[in-house]
Structure 1
Amino acid sequence: MNGHGRSERVVVTGLGLTTPAGLGVSRNWERITAGDSCAAADPDLEGIRSQLSCRIDGFDATELLGGFAAWRLDRFVQIAIVSTREALADAGWDPESWDGSRVGVVLGNSLGGAATMARQTDAFAAEGPSGVSPMTIPMHMVNMLAGYVAIDCHAGGPNLVTATACASGTTAVGTARDLLRSGACDVVVAGASEAALTRFMVSGLSRMGALSQGNDEPERASRPFDSARDGFVPAEGAGVLVLERERDARARGAHSRAVVAGYGASCDARHITAPDPQARGIRQAVRAALADAGTAASEIEHVNAHGTSTPLNDVTEGKALMSLFPHGPLVNSTKGVIGHPLAAAGAIEAAYAVLAIEHDSVPPTANTTDVDPELDINLVTRRAAEGPVSTAVSTSLGFGGHNAALVLTTP
């Protein structure tokens, strides 16, 4: 294995976030810690049963990327590139000077260029084939997320997109860590992005019954683990982590923000949308991550839960956490603030877990005032809970029965 092995520690040296909570890591942490919800009534969703979303305010692709990039890239790629640039700068890497052949890119996504497809479908309906842009396919394709990011930062190593629905970001980070351990790469840009808040996509989610109908109080609609939860608020966003082997990071004098100590994955193999009511799949994934990290369940001090605010997910996941961690670590869900950014959720939440470790502080689960009586979990509500937080778990569950979990620790 080229001198590398399964036990080699992999660290996070850079973070980048572009979410409804703000542009950049510092703004995200400020708003997540304050528990200030980003949900709002969305005029673009008028006529749909659920008319709420969490959008990224103040994102100007022309200003941040230039007019040509803004024109030829779908929003899900734009926000990923901005997040990647922030993460690389944070890690102290200059893509103009590194050996790009040793740099991999692993990013998660589910729905591709949804906005592009919506526009081009309308153009086709109005003008026929000649009205469709020749950029339609490269702007829509899921794999172009990793492809365009690699072009932007000159990363010529392994390049792929993970698609495990709402577990995609967590899957990407775990896959990236394994590439580093195998010796295939020296640096991996890992994370996920999603920007699919179109009328068509939101209508599909609404028709499934997955979305909150709290249209009268948007800011309170996403309330994970609350007894009155009625669905999630759809969101967009991107989270990127720069991963390296610890000894390589140390050799170049880089700051290690956290260790990606363990990764586990599983599939319920039961139902396309509903989680296994016995929570066997997510428990299997978490146990695998703990075993991979060589960490006892009793050592976990914080869980950043998937916590979607849907009736089925939260009770299933909550009961899994009860059985896995009876000692009561601090649990939260940051979806009360940013909503549910679908495939990007796991990557964004992994970044938030890293920040919780760094700050010894667990942000509150916004809007949750009456925890589901079926759940005996130590849920952080109302205000942030101070640590210590040296060992954390981040969990993700996705349609198709996909489950993934990370164990993150202090360096």
Structure 2
Amino acid sequence: MEFKRVVVTGLGALTPIGNTVPEYWNGLINGVSGAAFIKSFDVSKFKTKFACEVKNFDAEGFLGRKEARKLDPFVQYALFSTEEAVKDAGLDFGKLDTSRIGVIWGSGIGGLKTFLDEVVNFAKGDGTPKFNPFFIPKMIADIAPGHISIKYGLRGPNFTTVSACASSNNSLIDAFNYLRLGKANMFITGGSEAIINEAGIGGFNAMHALSTRNDDPSTASRPFDLDRDGFVAGEGAGTIILEELGHALKRGAKIYAEMVGGGMSADAYHMTAPHPDGLGASLVMKAALEDAGLTPADVDYVNVHGTSTPIGDPQEVKAIQDAFGDRVYDINISSTKSMTGHLLGAAGAVEAIASILALKNGIIPPTINHFTDDPAFDPRINFTFNTAQKRDINVVQSNGFGFGGHNASVIFKKYQQ
């Protein structure tokens, strides 16, 4: 069968370096760090005292006090970024067949803050179960797309993908596949995460996964730097409107880019550590290229997973070298997590937006906070260190890898009629 073409017609973002897409993009190309000391709870006894928090977000101003109290922050973030994307896409759902518009959303953890608060309140009591009636519907990871569909009256496919830090890349791939198979006309897709709380920071500290560079938080996320010591936790949301091309053209939509492929694989190696030779990561990039009908020679920029961990960054570099061969010296590589921190289940969506805007604007966002070359990496590879670079871009690839060995990679191409 002949696949339908799928295009990007709307974007929305709530990130640690900007609460709208223009603010986010401006932060990216100017190398702004979103890392700072945590303000949302007392960190005095924690190993890591900083993170990339969302700033100046007024949930009650956006939703109203009553509604905001019913929603975990990860859902609040999802609704906020989605509203921007819906407006950006110029959508009037009253004029569209909402039975063919769906929502597929990614979140690695869901309502962690809600779960923490309810369990702590129970533990402080006398054993009597006095739980908030909104506890379960606030917490469950699938509730964000439910709320999005309710708000806009969308009756197409609706679910959440959960694959740790690959979650929203998987949501994009699922939406892409439904659209190109003709199962729907449009999807609101992306991801959100809100884990900057005592349980999130304490849990990742216990794994020795987070940077502990408390003397200099703004430079703590150092992908591919010799002195990287762990990732920096981030939070927020990214929304992408994916649409079947014919449907988009019929309603006169503006088109950012075309989504042309997605790949998925598993490391089948370890609960949290990536395969040391990058086998799963290499496989997923090759699978995405094959799905898109492209070769390594077609790719200009790879937005890497690049978390700034001692074991994660080297395996991804090995994987890129294996997947791209000599082409690796001709492409740009960068990790926007150096600025946003690691948004876990929302990372794929937020980084896909960075990739789409790089494609549209011909600018590669940098990998900031690079101070010392790691001799383990080939110096001929262009990591786009510290400064954004202008480049004519036709194809971008964006990677996401998660605990459990989940890998997902997506590819966008400059739209041509």
TM-score of Structure 1 vs Structure 2, range by shorter chain = over 0.9
AA aligned opposite 2:26: E
CA distance in 2, matches of 1:85, 1:54: 22
* Deviation string, structure 1 residues 104-163 (Cα, Å, up to 9, x no partner): 111101111111111111221223445321100000011111111111121111101000
Residue aligning to 2:246: 247
1:347 to 343, 346, 349: 349
AA aligned opposite 1:369: F
2:99 to 101, 116, 121: 101
Residue aligning to 1:24: 20
Between the two proteins, the alignment pairs up a number of residues equal to 407
The question of whether the paired residues in 1 share the 8 Å contact of 2:190 and 2:349 is answered with yes
Q: Indicate yes or no: 2:6 matched with 1:10.
A: yes
CA distance in 2, matches of 1:129, 1:185: 47
**More displaced stretch, 201-210 vs 353-362:** 201-210
CA distance in 1, matches of 2:356, 2:286: 20
CA distance in 2, matches of 1:35, 1:179: 36
Residue aligning to 2:76: 78
**More displaced stretch, 110-119 vs 309-318:** 110-119
CA distance in 2, matches of 1:203, 1:23: 26
Offset of residue 296 of structure 1: 0.9
Residue aligning to 2:157: 158
CA distance in 2, matches of 1:245, 1:168: 22
2:394 to 390, 393, 399: 390
Residue aligning to 2:285: 286
Offset of residue 353 of structure 1: 0.1
Q: Indicate yes or no: 2:65 matched with 1:63.
A: no
CA distance in 1, matches of 2:174, 2:299: 22
2:384 to 367, 380, 386: 380
CA distance in 1, matches of 2:371, 2:412: 28
Q: Indicate yes or no: 2:59 matched with 1:53.
A: no
Offset of residue 57 of structure 1: 0.4
The question of whether the paired residues in 2 share the 8 Å contact of 1:369 and 1:381 is answered with no
1:357 to 356, 359, 362: 359
The question of whether the paired residues in 1 share the 8 Å contact of 2:4 and 2:181 is answered with no
Name the SS of the counterpart of 1:320 in structure 2: helix
Residue aligning to 2:138: 139
Residue aligning to 1:306: 305
Residue aligning to 2:412: 408
CA distance in 2, matches of 1:307, 1:104: 31
Name the SS of the counterpart of 1:287 in structure 2: helix
Give matches, 1:118-137, under 5 Å: 118-127=116-125, 128-137=127-136
CA distance in 2, matches of 1:17, 1:168: 16
The question of whether the paired residues in 2 share the 8 Å contact of 1:322 and 1:375 is answered with no
**More displaced stretch, 50-59 vs 364-373:** 364-373
Offset of residue 338 of structure 1: 0.7
The question of whether the paired residues in 2 share the 8 Å contact of 1:20 and 1:237 is answered with yes
Residue aligning to 1:186: 185
Offset of residue 86 of structure 1: 0.7
Offset of residue 321 of structure 1: 1.2
Q: 4+ residue runs of structure 1 moved beyond 6 angstroms? A: none
- Percent of aligned pairs with the same amino acid: 40
The question of whether the paired residues in 1 share the 8 Å contact of 2:3 and 2:181 is answered with no
Residue aligning to 1:216: 215
The question of whether the paired residues in 2 share the 8 Å contact of 1:114 and 1:196 is answered with yes
Name the SS of the counterpart of 2:93 in structure 1: coil
The question of whether the paired residues in 1 share the 8 Å contact of 2:4 and 2:182 is answered with no
CA distance in 1, matches of 2:55, 2:297: 40
AA aligned opposite 2:323: L
CA distance in 1, matches of 2:3, 2:374: 40
Name the SS of the counterpart of 1:106 in structure 2: strand
CA distance in 1, matches of 2:343, 2:374: 23
Residue aligning to 1:271: 270
Residue aligning to 1:91: 89
Name the SS of the counterpart of 1:166 in structure 2: coil
Q: TM-score, normalised by structure 2?
A: 0.95
AA aligned opposite 2:362: D
AA aligned opposite 2:273: A
The question of whether the paired residues in 2 share the 8 Å contact of 1:96 and 1:154 is answered with no
Residue aligning to 2:114: 116
Offset of residue 170 of structure 1: 0.6
Tell me, which stretches of 5 or more residues in structure 1 are unaligned? none
Q: TM-score, normalised by structure 1?
A: 0.97
* Deviation string, structure 1 residues 12-45 (Cα, Å, up to 9, x no partner): 1000000101111000000111111110112523
AA aligned opposite 1:147: G
| Distance change in 2, residues 1:250/1:262 (3 Å) | same
* Deviation string, structure 1 residues 87-106 (Cα, Å, up to 9, x no partner): 11111112344322111111
Name the SS of the counterpart of 1:281 in structure 2: helix
* Deviation string, structure 1 residues 352-387 (Cα, Å, up to 9, x no partner): 000000100001111023232212221101211001
Tell me, which stretches of 5 or more residues in structure 2 are unaligned? none
